[in-house]
Amino acid sequence: MGRIRILSDTVANQIAAGEVVERPASVVKELLENSLDAGATELRLEIENGGRRLIRISDNGCGMLRDDALLAFERHATSKLSSVKDLLAIATLGFRGEALPSIASVSRLVLETRAEEESTGTRVEIAGGKLIKVDEMALPRGTTITVRDLFFNVPARKKFLRTEPTELAHIAALVTHYSLAHPDKTIQLRHNANELLSVTPVTEIRERVFQVFGSQVLTELVDLGTHERDFPGDEPGLMNQYRLRGFVSGPQVQKLNRNSIYLFVNGRLIRDRLLLHGLTAGYTQLIPPGTYPFALLFLDCDPAEVDVNVHPSKTEVRFRQGSFVHDFVRDSVRRTLTQARPISAAPAPLQPSFGQPTQPAAQLPYSEFSQIVQGGPPPPPPSELFSAGELPQVSMPNWGLRAEAGPSPRFDFGDPQLAPPSPTIGHPGFVRGPVPDTHGALPAGSYAEAVNLEALKDLRPLGQLHDSFIIAAGRDGLWIIDQHVAHERILFEQVLRQQAAGQVERQQLLVPLVLELTAGQEIEYERIAQELDRAGFDTAPVGRRAIAVQAAPADIGPANVEKVVLEILEIAESEMRRATLEEIRRNVAASIGCRAAIKINMPLDMTKMEWLLKKLGECEYPMSCPHGRPIALRYSMREILKSFHRI
Ligand code: ADP
Ligand code: MG
């Protein structure tokens, strides 16, 4: 007997399920898409235990005829496609006929459905791919699908499921996305009887954005309007039209992850590198590299122009005219950003990108940038930029030069061979060694972790370079210190110490700050509420999807409270898959440190410089900021003497 066998349907479905059903959110996605394809205008989702125990979706769509209700669980059974030709122009969200059999093969599933044409409905029960029973019963028009005990019969898959909040966050994000793409539908999401999302039909996407994200987000966004561009079609005289609509954030919004980018092609939520790149290219030099905007982009085109059959999960697409689409998105976003005046809030101090190498900002097209940035109200008074009472007042930071404040300055590193040896204190993970510059005229400074840290303790400030770097003389040479990252490190360690001791100094806010949260943020909030408290924020939930901040750490100044809280939630969200509370704690401290630290382009007098150097000398790890950027460069005496041919 030969060795090759045909797999049973059950096994084949379970294999397909591996691709279609990755986690509870993928089940939700398939079921939502089916309901939308069925023309439903009301979709209600119930989730229990992050979707592991229960996922139920009820719709008022066309329902299924009795025969179809059974057929739907056959592999490749679909009502949406009949020939390969149809595959070239798919107008529905589903088409592969794989979802229902796949889901039914790895769960206990109940389908209840009634089509308009039939007077009674059908109930089908399947467990682990096996038909348990079929009943006839009275049902309203539409379909309800209940999926229980996902992966009950595939323990290997079950192990890969994350915690309840993580799985729920994925579901909430997904439903949020779909609700944005379909403003004309009623969509509800409940988890363990808590309502996470509930939206009613509206005519404008703008109104849906308001329903989902609240007014705060809306004020940070710029309406793209409608952009159209044609590409010559296959036949002479025939043009393929592409249309782009949506909302993008102004340059003051700099997210640390891509979670706030929503891309839809013909109403289908997708992840696409090409579109993502087109979008970020539109922001080149408007926001620092490594940061991301908020964006809600709807691209519509002839279905024949885009292949959605790239992957079973249908989240990847392939455009026939890839580079045309890329440039269209980039140009539309760019044009909107450079023409628009934001409706927006105060300019946020630029934050360093997290651990990413950054570009020098010198070539920034300042006119464009300032045009956008200067629309906002004046920056916060500098007093708020200092930790409470520790530093005396200084003059206003030079916001006009803010464009230069973002990326850290970069230095050229030449051939390390030329470097004279230096005594080392190893700090693993950092570049070490003195580094001559490429022109060979002046030896450039060493990253200072390669030197005796004791030397930091008696540095004498000589002055400031470009109001941004402190020049200091030390026993062992000449030092250049980045004032912002140095202060950031000082504050970071201070906050960590205070948190550990439970002694964060709090300031009561005069008026509690109410923040509206997205469904995803609300879930993160529940998870990290205690961490926020430990970090010095008094917060409490108020109403649905909003929190009130009553007190904040004294270090950060009232003007920064909102930004820091939202940033912390964002960090928690981006680290969803793996962040431990310890990591979140460090990130919270880093975030506070970054917001509260003095900026560059800020003149400091001698007392302040002395204070900063003294505090830096007291730090445990004075050589790099919490995000991994270097704090100090050093020209050793040896390098200096050698350059003057004295040794
Ligand atoms: P596909 O969506 O790719 O066609 P599915 O396995 O997801 O495949 O669904 C199989 C078929 O079941 C669909 O083609 C559709 O006819 C029917 N169906 C699934 N869900 C619904 C629903 N909520 N309402 C009406 N019909 C549905
Ligand atoms: Mg489907």
Q: For residue 183, report the distance from its CA to the centre of ligand 2, in Å.
A: 21
Please indicate whether residue 390 or residue 215 has the higher confidence score (pLDDT): 215
Q: Which of 170, 201, 232 is the last residue of a domain?
A: 201
> What pLDDT shows up at residue 629?
76
In a domain, residue 642? The reply is no
In a domain, residue 123? The reply is yes
Q: Is the CB of 112 under 6 A from ligand 1?
A: no
Sequence-separated contacts (24+) of 463-466 with Cβ below 8 Å = 464/603, 464/604, 464/609, 466/600, 466/601
Mean pLDDT of 112-122: 95
Determine which of 86-95, 211-220, 275-284 has the lowest per-residue pLDDT on average: 86-95
Determine which of 77-86, 255-264, 276-285, 573-582 has the lowest per-residue pLDDT on average: 573-582
Residue nearest to atom 18 of ligand 1 (CA): 34
Asked if 130 and 225 sit in the same domain, the reply is no
Q: Which of 173, 201, 229 is the last residue of a domain?
A: 201
HEC assignment per residue over 160-199 = CCCCHHHHHHHHHHHHHHHHHHCCCCEEEEEECCEEEEEE
Asked if 59 and 108 sit in the same domain, the reply is yes
> Residue 473 carries which side chain, given as an amino acid letter?
A
Residue nearest to atom 12 of ligand 1 (CA): 72
> What pLDDT shows up at residue 167?
86
Interval 188-209: pLDDT, tens: 999 998 888 999 999 988 899 8
Interval 19-28: pLDDT, tens: 668 889 999 9
pLDDT band, very low/low/confident/very high, at 109 (cuts 50, 70, 90): very high
| DSSP annotation string for 398-426 | -GGGGGGTSSPP------GGGPPP-----
Are 369 and 286 spatial neighbours (Cβ–Cβ below 8 Å)?
yes
Q: Which of 140, 174, 201 is the last residue of a domain?
A: 201
Number of domains in the chain: 3
> What pLDDT shows up at residue 503?
82
* DSSP class of 541: E
Asked if 65 and 164 sit in the same domain, the reply is yes
* Closest by Cα among 540, 545, 579 to 191: 545
Asked if 168 and 241 sit in the same domain, the reply is no
Task: Round the average pLDDT of the chain to a whole number and report it.
Answer: 75
For residues 341 and 428, give the distance between their C-alpha atoms in angstroms, rounded to a whole number: 46
Please indicate whether residue 22 or residue 248 has the higher confidence score (pLDDT): 248
Residue 30 alpha carbon, nearest atom of ligand 1: 7
Interval 43-82: pLDDT, tens: 999 999 999 999 999 999 999 999 899 888 886 667 766 6
What's the CATH number where 192 sits? 3.30.565.10
* Closest by Cα among 145, 156, 150, 175 to 73: 145
List beta partners, residue 514.
548
For residues 610 and 616, give the distance between their C-alpha atoms in angstroms, rounded to a whole number: 10
Q: For residue 203, report the distance from its CA to the centre of ligand 2, in Å.
A: 26
Q: Is the CB of 164 under 6 A from ligand 1?
A: no
> What pLDDT shows up at residue 245?
93
In a domain, residue 61? The reply is yes
> What pLDDT shows up at residue 42?
97
Collapse the DSSP code of 485 into the 3-class scheme (helix H, G, I; strand E, B; otherwise coil) and give the result. Answer: helix
Are 584 and 539 spatial neighbours (Cβ–Cβ below 8 Å)?
no
> What pLDDT shows up at residue 635?
86
215 burial type by CB count under 10 A (0-12 exposed, 13-18 middle, 19+ buried): exposed
Q: Is the CB of 21 under 6 A from ligand 1?
A: no
Backbone angles phi, psi at 375, to 5 degrees: -65, -20
> What pLDDT shows up at residue 15?
65
Cβ atoms within 10 Å of 583's Cβ, excluding its own: 13
Asked if 52 and 196 sit in the same domain, the reply is yes
Asked if 174 and 239 sit in the same domain, the reply is no
Q: Which of 9, 30, 37, 139 to mutate to test the pocket of ligand 1 (most atoms within 8 A of CB)?
A: 37
Alpha-carbon distances, residue 336 vs 60, 249, 299, 339 (angstroms) = 39, 10, 16, 5
Interval 134-158: pLDDT, tens: 999 999 999 999 999 999 988 877 7
Are 455 and 472 spatial neighbours (Cβ–Cβ below 8 Å)?
no
508 burial type by CB count under 10 A (0-12 exposed, 13-18 middle, 19+ buried): exposed
Interval 374-398: pLDDT, tens: 223 333 322 222 222 332 222 222 2
Asked if 39 and 180 sit in the same domain, the reply is yes
> What pLDDT shows up at residue 468?
92
Tell how far CA 625 is from the center of its chain.
22
Q: For residue 185, report the distance from its CA to the centre of ligand 1, in Å.
A: 19
Q: Which of 27, 28, 34, 111 to mutate to test the pocket of ligand 1 (most atoms within 8 A of CB)?
A: 34
Are 642 and 443 spatial neighbours (Cβ–Cβ below 8 Å)?
yes
In a domain, residue 409? The reply is no
Q: Is the CB of 95 under 6 A from ligand 1?
A: yes
Mean pLDDT of 475-490: 90
For residues 211 and 325, give the distance between their C-alpha atoms in angstroms, rounded to a whole number: 30
Interval 362-372: pLDDT, tens: 222 222 222 22
Tell how far CA 349 is from the center of its chain.
19
Instruction: Name the helix (H) or strand (E) containing 481.
Output: strand 477-482
* Token pair listed for 606: 């001698």
In a domain, residue 111? The reply is yes
Collapse the DSSP code of 524 into the 3-class scheme (helix H, G, I; strand E, B; otherwise coil) and give the result. Answer: helix
Q: For residue 117, report the distance from its CA to the centre of ligand 2, in Å.
A: 22
Interval 618-636: pLDDT, tens: 888 887 777 777 788 888 8
> What pLDDT shows up at residue 418?
27
Q: Is the CB of 167 under 6 A from ligand 1?
A: no
Asked if 183 and 52 sit in the same domain, the reply is yes
Sequence-separated contacts (24+) of 531-534 with Cβ below 8 Å = 531/568, 531/581, 531/584, 531/585, 531/588, 532/565, 532/568, 532/588, 534/499, 534/502, 534/504, 534/585
What's the CATH number where 313 sits? 3.30.230.10
Asked if 157 and 255 sit in the same domain, the reply is no
The number of the ligand nearest the C-alpha atom of 144 reads 1
> What pLDDT shows up at residue 17?
64
Q: For residue 196, report the distance from its CA to the centre of ligand 1, in Å.
A: 26
Q: Is the CB of 35 under 6 A from ligand 1?
A: yes
Cβ atoms within 10 Å of 436's Cβ, excluding its own: 21
pTM score, two decimals? 0.57
Asked if 27 and 83 sit in the same domain, the reply is yes
> What pLDDT shows up at residue 403?
25
Check whether 407 has a pLDDT greater than 80. Answer: no
In a domain, residue 549? The reply is yes
What's the CATH number where 536 sits? 3.30.1370.100
Q: Is the CB of 121 under 6 A from ligand 1?
A: no
Domain of residue 60 covers 9-201
Percent over 90 (pLDDT), the chain: 30
Are 598 and 423 spatial neighbours (Cβ–Cβ below 8 Å)?
no
Q: Which of 90, 100, 144 to mutate to test the pocket of ligand 1 (most atoms within 8 A of CB)?
A: 100
For residues 214 and 192, give the distance between their C-alpha atoms in angstroms, rounded to a whole number: 23
Q: For residue 79, report the distance from its CA to the centre of ligand 1, in Å.
A: 7
The number of the ligand nearest the C-alpha atom of 35 reads 1
Residue nearest to atom 1 of ligand 1 (CA): 97
Q: Is the CB of 30 under 6 A from ligand 1?
A: yes
For residues 102 and 34, give the distance between their C-alpha atoms in angstroms, rounded to a whole number: 14
Please indicate whether residue 299 or residue 642 has the higher confidence score (pLDDT): 299
HEC assignment per residue over 270-315 = ECCHHHHHHHHHHCCCCCCCCCECCEEEEEECCHHHEECCCCCCCC
Tell how far CA 102 is from the center of its chain.
30
Q: Which residues of 394-408 are buried (b: 16+ CB within 10 A; e: fewer)?
A: beebbbebbbbbbbb
Residue 78 alpha carbon, nearest atom of ligand 1: 14
Q: For residue 26, report the distance from its CA to the centre of ligand 2, in Å.
A: 11
For residues 211 and 179, give the distance between their C-alpha atoms in angstroms, rounded to a whole number: 10
Q: Is the CB of 80 under 6 A from ligand 1?
A: yes
Are 560 and 595 spatial neighbours (Cβ–Cβ below 8 Å)?
yes
For residues 394 and 388, give the distance between their C-alpha atoms in angstroms, rounded to a whole number: 14
Please indicate whether residue 122 or residue 631 has the higher confidence score (pLDDT): 122
Asked if 309 and 225 sit in the same domain, the reply is yes
For residues 145 and 232, give the distance between their C-alpha atoms in angstroms, rounded to a whole number: 44
Mean pLDDT of 468-474: 93
Q: Is the CB of 251 under 6 A from ligand 1?
A: no
Q: Is the CB of 38 under 6 A from ligand 1?
A: yes
Q: For residue 94, report the distance from its CA to the centre of ligand 2, in Å.
A: 4
> Residue 34 carries which side chain, given as an amino acid letter?
N
Asked if 42 and 188 sit in the same domain, the reply is yes
For residues 469 and 521, give the distance between their C-alpha atoms in angstroms, rounded to a whole number: 37
Q: For residue 73, report the distance from its CA to the centre of ligand 1, in Å.
A: 9
Q: Is the CB of 209 under 6 A from ligand 1?
A: no
Percent over 70 (pLDDT), the chain: 74
Q: For residue 97, report the distance from its CA to the centre of ligand 2, in Å.
A: 6
Are 562 and 515 spatial neighbours (Cβ–Cβ below 8 Å)?
yes
For residues 390 and 350, give the distance between their C-alpha atoms in angstroms, rounded to a whole number: 23
In a domain, residue 170? The reply is yes
Q: Is the CB of 142 under 6 A from ligand 1?
A: no
In a domain, residue 315? The reply is yes
Interval 204-213: pLDDT, tens: 888 998 888 8
pLDDT band, very low/low/confident/very high, at 333 (cuts 50, 70, 90): very high
Q: Which of 59, 78, 103, 117 to mutate to test the pocket of ligand 1 (most atoms within 8 A of CB)?
A: 78
Contacts with 614 (C-beta within 8 Å, 6 or more apart), sequence order: none
Check whether 592 has a pLDDT greater than 90. Answer: no
Q: For residue 77, report the distance from its CA to the centre of ligand 2, in Å.
A: 10
Check whether 40 has a pLDDT greater than 70. Answer: yes
The number of the ligand nearest the C-alpha atom of 67 reads 1
Please indicate whether residue 546 or residue 12 has the higher confidence score (pLDDT): 546
Alpha-carbon distances, residue 578 vs 49, 205, 369, 461, 533 (angstroms) = 19, 33, 36, 42, 21
Q: Is the CB of 94 under 6 A from ligand 1?
A: yes
